[in-house]
Amino acid sequence: MNTPAPLNAAPVTLESNSVRLEPLDVCHAESLALAADDAEIWAFMPIAPGVVRDECRRWIESSLADAADGSQVPFAIVDVASGRAVGSTRFLNIRRSHRSLEIGYTWLGAAARRTPINTHCKWLLLSHAFDTLGAIRVEFKTDDRNVRSQRALERIGAIREGLHRQHMIMPDGHLRDSVYYSIIDKQWPDVCIQLKAMMAVSS
């Protein structure tokens, strides 16, 4: 049996008519610091409120250092209409030989939430993962308390797989349980149709 080629995730720019995902860079620091000034973003994120807002350049440099071994690919989320970075997301937990990765560490500033931006981001990232990189599995994880994020994943067709108990110690000391979801390659055509329908409605 032939061994499939490994998944080769690398920095890339992905763009729709609403969103451009650019490789994260210190040039995004000013815009991201402004977008990060919103406590709601960090309620379920494993990073203390104020870190990105107050030390954005250092946070970007740390993110790029974490990505240096190829296990992550961080992006700035740029609103095409304004040209400003309004949040960040990334590929992480990249398992090249198993053609699997996670989409996560996603956050958006207040002005970009409840807009088509997040749906466009998911479509761009999933399309790239499955159609270009040849992934067979894309996973997501979310705080068990973050019901809104879970419903959003379920709306696009992601399947809930289970609960990792006491998976993280949050900055406030809370022992976070993480809910895992996934989309596999066999599901992707249907998920793609659903995402395109959602984007059409919101455009």
pLDDT digits over 172-198, tens only? Answer: 999 999 999 999 999 999 999 999 999
Helices (H), the chain: 29-35, 51-54, 56-66, 117-127, 147-155, 188-202
Q: What is the pLDDT of residue 2?
A: 59
Confidence of residue 3 (pLDDT cuts 50, 70, 90): low
Domain ranges of the chain: 14-202
pLDDT tens, 125-172?
A: 999 999 999 999 999 999 999 999 999 999 999 999 999 999 999 999
What is the average per-residue pLDDT within 65-89?
96
Q: Which two tokens stand for residue 48?
A: 């203390």
CATH no. of 14-202: 3.40.630.30
Contacts of 130 (CB under 8 A, 6+ apart): 138, 185, 188
Cα–Cα distance, 1 to 88 (Å, whole number): 39
Query: 3-state DSSP helix/strand/coil percent for the chain, to nearest 5?
Result: 35, 30, 35
pTM: 0.94
Q: DSSP letter string over 163-197?
A: EEEEEEE-TTS-EEEEEEEEEETTTHHHHHHHHHH
